[in-house]
Amino acid sequence: MKSRFKKVKSITNNRDAEQSSSSKTKLPLPVFGLVSKERPWPRKERHCVYYSTDCDKTALINNFQKRGWHKVPAFDGEWNLYWACAQNCRYIFGVDHPYRMRSDQMINHFPNSMELSRKDLLVKNIKRYRKDLERKGDALAETHPNNTKLGIGGTRYMHLDIIPMTFVLPADYNLFVEEFHKNPASTWIVKPSDKSQGVGIYLINKLSKLKRFAYEARTFYPHFHRDTCVISKYIDNPLLIGGKKFDLRLYVLVTTFNPIKAYLYNEGFCRFCTQRYDQTEIDNVFMHLTNVSIQKNNVKEYNTIHGGKWSMQNLCLYLDSIRGEGVSKQLSRRISETIRHSLDAVAPVMANDRHCFEVYGYDIIIDNNLKPWLIEINTSPSIHSTTKNDCTLKTRLIDNVLDVVIPPSGMPDERWAKTPSQDSLKNFTLLTPVELPKQQKLCNLATPTAAAADAAAAAAAAAGPQRKNKSFVRRLVSGAIPITGSNVASKFKLASGTSVLKKQAQNKKSADTKVLVKKSKLTKRVSK
């Protein structure tokens, strides 16, 4: 009996020990490199950088190893730099996530970068940006006269016409139908809001191809539909080289959105279609969509040596030789302004975190008039290399990105001001705020916009019988500029800077003095 009792006791003790050990192993580990209470981070000083990545691409791994960094798993909390996919980044910065990043950690995405990457949100932010500038009376919101024919952008803005006319489906289906009936022969392109690599894109020239959206637009809550698409006016006059359509893939590094610190990489490239452009064949994706993931399926025409890609340097040489010297510089300036406008549009709604930086892939199409059009923005541009030149370009890109985002000490630090030295920029160019040339500003001051003239006439009509004088309205329309102020009288200034009422008072005073002088002369004559 005693031996049996000892055996039972030993078995129960072993079970308790197994349960205690299993309970210890089931403690929650840190997720995606964040510190938890159960496993605090050791406070010893570190002498090397640890990295983690969700994509084992050659361009990334080679640059990390060249710097002597060590790879660690993403879930154990030991990384200093995490090159993550956008989905994991959104999980880390989620509202319900109980962890916080350390001061020596960096990640390659901003929390709500979808404000740029989702096509419907990008369009909404750009439209709001235009209205805000117009409300402030900014010179960048200057518009063409009302009788001007609308182009592909569908707006009269002189400097903010950077995207084609776009509607969100199914919410804006009725507005799109109204616009489509104005020109039934036009071609439109439909894109899913949250897809990339050309997935789900097709061209239409008939409303019958949008029956699904017509049905969904009649539902009670079309604005809350998940599978949204954008439909944009198709750029039917693209710049062709060798009869083939192409677009630009440019890389932009953003280190902070408040204030905006953005850098354009000088070594972008062109992506060509494999078949000659023909506007009438709207069902042929090999002549309309430039995505490499689509063009490589055309086995007969796809060239595996150069991959249908052309460097920006070759494009600039071609344009200067065909269109004239200096054309490439003007085009580069317009492209930089387009990119800066898009970043200014999303800056008010972006969650600026000091642990974050991001590399965006901009897709831009140039029309036959050398006007750049923003097509879409990718938050996770492909680092996969299809050719040797492609591998070299992307390796240099990642190397330059790390030089800019890592402090001079070599260890990530959220307290760093993110002001890299000129030597570390290398192939990056700082994107400065868009400013109009001085001559154009003076012209804008001398010649008011149509909106300013309409506002002046409306204010003069609403001011009462004293303001209904036609000469006053004529003077106001020809030389008045709206300014900020409290009352209606102080809201307009002449080009010289004198207020309208002040000018009227001066004219009245001079007229009164003239009358007094005439009366005095008459009295002198009568007395004589």
Q: Are residues 181 and 149 in the same domain?
A: no
Where residue 217 sits, what CATH number does that domain have? 3.30.1490.20
Is residue 525 assigned to a domain? no
What pLDDT, on the 0 to 100 scale, is given for residue 96? Answer: 75
Other residues' Cβ atoms within 10 Å of the Cβ of residue 10: 10
pLDDT digits (tens, 9 = 90+) for 188-225: 999 999 888 888 999 999 998 998 888 777 775 555 55
Q: Are residues 177 and 158 in the same domain?
A: no
Is residue 44 assigned to a domain? no
Per-residue pLDDT of the chain (528 residues; tens, 9 = 90+): 445 444 444 544 554 544 444 444 443 434 444 443 334 444 445 678 999 998 888 899 999 999 999 999 887 778 999 999 888 888 888 777 756 888 999 999 999 999 999 999 999 999 999 999 999 999 999 998 888 888 888 888 999 999 999 999 988 999 999 999 999 989 999 999 988 888 899 999 999 899 888 877 777 555 555 678 999 999 999 999 999 999 999 999 999 999 999 999 999 999 999 999 999 899 999 999 999 989 999 888 888 888 899 999 999 999 999 999 999 999 999 999 999 999 999 999 999 999 999 999 999 999 999 999 999 999 989 888 888 999 999 999 999 999 999 999 999 999 999 999 999 999 999 999 998 876 555 455 444 444 444 554 555 555 544 443 433 333 333 333 333 333 333 333 433 444 444 555 566 556 656 555 555 655 555 454
- Choose the final residue of a domain: 186, 201, 234: 234
Contacts of 169 (CB under 8 A, 6+ apart): 176, 190, 210, 213, 216, 217, 228, 229, 230, 231
* Angle CA 50–54–58, to nearest 5: 80
Print the domain residue range for 314: 112-164+238-394+418-435
- Choose the final residue of a domain: 194, 219, 234: 234
Contacts of 62 (CB under 8 A, 6+ apart): 395
- The count of structural domains within the chain is 2
- Tokens matching residue 479: 């030389």
Instruction: Give the residue from 495, 241, 229, 215 showing the smallest Cα distance to 366.
Output: 241
Give kind and range of the element (H or E) at residue 179. Answer: helix 173-182
Instruction: Give the residue from 114, 402, 374, 404 showing the smallest Cα distance to 263.
Output: 404
Q: How far apart are CA 160 and CA 125, in angstroms?
A: 13
Is residue 14 assigned to a domain? no
Q: Are residues 125 and 248 in the same domain?
A: yes
What pLDDT, on the 0 to 100 scale, is given for residue 378? Answer: 94
What pLDDT, on the 0 to 100 scale, is given for residue 494? Answer: 39
Is residue 467 assigned to a domain? no
Instruction: Using a cut of 0.85, tell me whether the model's pTM lies above it.
Output: no
Q: Are residues 362 and 423 in the same domain?
A: yes
- Transcribe 41-80 into DSSP letters: PP-PPP-S-EEEESS--HHHHHHHHHTT-EE--TTSS--S
Q: How far apart are CA 98 and CA 92, in angstroms?
A: 9
Q: Are residues 427 and 363 in the same domain?
A: yes
pLDDT digits (tens, 9 = 90+) for 455-491: 545 555 555 444 434 333 333 333 333 333 333 333 3
Where residue 269 sits, what CATH number does that domain have? 3.30.470.20
Is residue 226 assigned to a domain? yes
Q: Are residues 259 and 291 in the same domain?
A: yes
Q: Are residues 308 and 360 in the same domain?
A: yes
What pLDDT, on the 0 to 100 scale, is given for residue 520? Answer: 60
Is residue 334 assigned to a domain? yes
195 near 230, Cβ under 8 Å?
no
235 near 152, Cβ under 8 Å?
yes
The residues facing 232 across adjacent strands are 166, 189
115 near 349, Cβ under 8 Å?
yes
Is residue 522 assigned to a domain? no
Q: Are residues 148 and 279 in the same domain?
A: yes
Q: Are residues 279 and 384 in the same domain?
A: yes
Is residue 386 assigned to a domain? yes
| Burial classification of residue 265, based on how many CB atoms lie within 10 Å of its CB (0-12 exposed, 13-18 middle, 19 or more buried) | buried
- Choose the final residue of a domain: 234, 256, 273: 234
What pLDDT, on the 0 to 100 scale, is given for residue 261? Answer: 96
Q: Are residues 227 and 263 in the same domain?
A: no
Q: Are residues 277 and 369 in the same domain?
A: yes
**Strand pairing report for 260-265 and 244-257:** antiparallel
Q: Are residues 250 and 325 in the same domain?
A: yes
What pLDDT, on the 0 to 100 scale, is given for residue 503? Answer: 52
